A and B are shown apart, each in its own frame.
Chain A
Amino acid sequence: MQLKTALTEISGLRYMIDRLDLKSSLAHRMLLASPFLISTKDVSYQLQQINRTVNEFKIEDNKSTFEKVSIKISDIRDIFGTIKNIQNRLTLNDIELFEVKSFALLSEDIRELLKPIQFLWEQLPNLAQVVEILDPEGARIPSFYISNSFSPELGKLRKKLFGLEFLLEDAEDNSASSKELQQQSDELRNKITEVEDKIRQDLSDKLYRLDSELDKALIAIGNIDILIAKAKQAISEKLVIPDVEGDATSYQGLFYPQLKATLEHDKKRYQPIDIDIYKGTCLITGANMAGKTVLLKTLALSQALCQYGFFVPATDAKIALVEQILFSIADEQSELSGLSSYASEMLKVNRIVQLGKKQKRILVLIDELARTTNPTEGRAIVSAVANILDNCNVRAVITTHYSGLSTQCRKLRVKGFMENSNDAVITIKNIGDYIDYSLIEDDGINVPHEALKIAQILGIDNDILSEAEKHLEMDKNKN
């Protein structure tokens, strides 16, 4: 799956991509086409490239170098189409030749600037030959026309034409001499066009021999633009390089960048999470508003960022690479397909389980499985799915509100309301300050019963609350 598609599926990913400070449309095009990497070698290479760039940024002298390179890159045009034309042995027109020339000059400038940063410098091929072909005068100015220096014959013909035109201007309209001059001039123009076309053809042929260098340079510049942007983002958003060599997924201080930024902007507390995800199933329980959905979204985002070659939002991260990220998260709508929310969820879960049974390496994230059906059967479905996935090659995280599940898989619980929260005046605005979002290992026998407390904080009609309390009492007495 290309990053372009993932953007529409994984929440929070667009936020990260939109905030990348890319300088060229070339880099933008390349970035959106980046593939989901599944081999450790590929991911490591990408991450190491960013890491080296981040390290280079730490050297004071390099800052101005990066700035100068960025300015040059912002002038780069995506000449992908023109290079294609060269490869297909088409004759380039003046505008295309101009594009190639100005690209080659810029590329040479960038290469020169990058000298102190060896590993980036190495990626850019030398385009001096291209410059030489298109700049016979050696002026090194990014402008182009079929000048006389490409052919001495052209100079002579043009000189002759200018002379004729001069005479033509003085000749009387429609006179015999004027007609003759006009005819001569037209013939001369045709001859000149022929010579010019020959030169364009020669130039295109010469460039054909250098097409792979041009192609390499274009890709390298796009990559350098992307690398610089990723490194800058890693520094400013405090992202970390994940360790992808091992078979563990473990985060310290994991956060969801968009939410963190919003809360920090409102001067509110944001609590990063520590979590280890082992092979098999992990059930997560917790009160409403305890951040379970955000946790799942963060896990999906972080895995995706890593495998598209980005640093991840955490203070420390180990990530076991997967072949696919599959999720079923509550806020997706399925009205268009004509299925009920239960039906569409079940179909999604079915696909997950089928892939799991094929022993695919997958990260599975399911939010409140079977929440839209009756609790008795819902509980049974959760237990069943949890048990099956527990024996597959997947890492599955499933959130639920059901208690008393008959599954032996691992269970975590969001701590929920802090101990001192009973004395405080909690409102919808400050509720975040009184919830401890950290995760603890749990037996899963009792799930938190804080739905009514939260409903009260939300300012729900008192009749609902007192009526619900009554029913709770009745249930208790029945048991």
Chain B
Amino acid sequence: MPFINDVLTFKSLSIVGLEKNTGKTETLNYILGRLKNMDTRIALTSIGIDGESTDIVTNTKKPEIRIYPGMIYISAEQHYLQKRIISEILDVSKIHTALGRLVIAKAINSDKVLLSGPADTQNLKALISDMEKFNVDLTIVDGALSRLSLASPAITEGMILTTGAAYSANIPVLVRKTKYVYDLINLPEVEPELKQKLDCVESGIIAIDTDNNLHDLNIKSVFMLKEAKDRAFSFGTRLFVAGATSNYLFEFLRMQKNVDTIELVVKDFSRIFATPEVYYSFIKKGGKVKVVNQTKLAAVCINPISPQGYNLSSDELKESMQEALQIPVYDVKKI
């Protein structure tokens, strides 16, 4: 049973697809099918509405999510009242969505359901921690279209990445694009002492000196860095950026003379919004990137079929992907 044991070590897990139709739902169904007979209490939610029987973007048939007796699932009020499954309402959340409040229910029998969830990460985080009330061991979040931010370790402990022909129908391109996300996910963590200090910094640009002391540079955004260049490196060459980091920042850092000594620290991988080209050219010149919180990747899953009709060779894709990432990769339709 591949990667199920890894999944069980987390309290919360997100399943994120690099594109729609990369096999998120199949992966979820696989995991649920494996967990149904285990002594683990599962809760399921999503970011935004999910679980439609057809994909509204591409109009292709999408597998529904099948859940099993005892599993807890979150559904919007309107969907809940149209459900087929027999389930017991445990709570009605105060969080409102376009389709009403969120209903937290426990499945009595096994059937297909429509998952819903809060539309913003703040409420999602609160909902996940609320699950403790119902003795939930593992909360699984079904991610929406390319929402990497929910895989942030600030929200879920672990993640599963799904990728496939829908993301790119050209195997080398697909592997390269996936490898980039994989590289970001695997960025090393800063040392524990620094991690503790940076965990409570929520905004701004901070210089870190060689003794791990923090100095707020009072620079409001990365776009002001140019003007404050002399100050930026007055405490050394380590910078922490609490917010999003874009191409602009990476290009600015790359162009510094001492680029090979620069170390950029970000909260977690989901804060990096640079394109692969810009990111790698910074790395190539010797720049380093670290994260405060590393995401634990449980698995990479592939779907060789795309809704446009491309049908890649599962084995070929799997092999190239494994070679690039150096970890096992699974075709969800075959496991």
Contact = CB atoms under 8 A, between A and B. Distances in A.
A158 B108 CA distance: 11
A465 interface: no
B109 A94 contact: no
A143 B91 CA distance: 7
A98 B88 CA distance: 9
B86 A144 contact: no
17 contacts: A77-B92, A94-B80, A94-B89, A95-B101, A98-B89, A142-B90, A142-B91, A143-B88, A143-B89, A144-B88, A145-B87, A145-B89, A145-B105, A146-B86, A158-B109, A165-B110, A189-B84
Given A94-B80, A94-B81, 17 more contacts: A93-B81, A94-B89, A95-B77, A95-B80, A95-B89, A98-B89, A98-B92, A99-B92, A142-B90, A142-B91, A143-B89, A143-B106, A144-B89, A145-B87, A145-B89, A146-B86, A162-B109
B86 A143 contact: no
A144 B106 CA distance: 10
Nearest to A158: B86
A142 B109 CA distance: 20
Nearest to B109: A162
A145 B105 CA distance: 9
A165 B109 CA distance: 11
Interface in A132-157: 142-147
Interface string A56-96: 00000000000000000000010000000000000001110
A105 B89 CA distance: 15
Interface in B65-111: 77, 80-81, 84, 86-92, 101, 103, 105-106, 108-110
Given A162-B109, A189-B84, A143 B92 contact: no
A95 B99 CA distance: 14
Contacts of A143: 88-91, 106
Interface residues of B, number: 18
Contacts of A95: 77, 80-81, 89, 92, 101, 103
B32 to A, nearest CB: 15
A142 B104 CA distance: 12
Interface of A: 77, 93-95, 98-99, 142-147, 158, 162, 165, 189
A142 B92 CA distance: 11
A143 B77 CA distance: 15
Contacts of B92: 77, 95, 98-99
B81 A145 contact: no
A145 B84 contact: no
A95 B87 CA distance: 11
Interface of B: 77, 80-81, 84, 86-92, 101, 103, 105-106, 108-110
A75 to B, nearest CB: 10
A409 B81 CA distance: 71
B103 A145 contact: no
Contact of A145 (B77, B91, B101, B108): B108
Contacts of A189: 84
Contacts of B108: 145
Contact of B86 (A77, A98, A145): A145
B120 to A, nearest CB: 21
A93 B101 CA distance: 14
Contacts of B105: 145
Nearest to A75: B91
A145 B88 contact: yes
A2 B174 CA distance: 64
**Residue in B81, B89, B101, B103 with the greatest tally of chain A CB atoms within 10 Å:** B89
Nearest to B134: A143
Contacts of B81: 93-95
Contacts of A147: 88
Q: Which 4 A-B pairs have the closest CB atoms?
A: A145-B88, A98-B89, A143-B90, A144-B89
A162 to B, nearest CB: 6
A394 to B, nearest CB: 47
**Residue in A93, A94, A144, A189 with the greatest tally of chain B CB atoms within 10 Å:** A94
Contacts of A142: 90-91
A314 B70 CA distance: 59
A77 B91 CA distance: 11
B272 to A, nearest CB: 40
Nearest to A101: B89
Contacts of B106: 143
A95 B100 CA distance: 11
A98 B80 CA distance: 13
B188 to A, nearest CB: 43
**Residue in A77, A98, A162 with the greatest tally of chain B CB atoms within 10 Å:** A98
Contacts of B88: 143-145, 147
Contacts of B84: 189
A35 B88 CA distance: 41
A142 B110 CA distance: 22
B88 to A, nearest CB: 4
A147 B89 CA distance: 11
Nearest to A146: B86
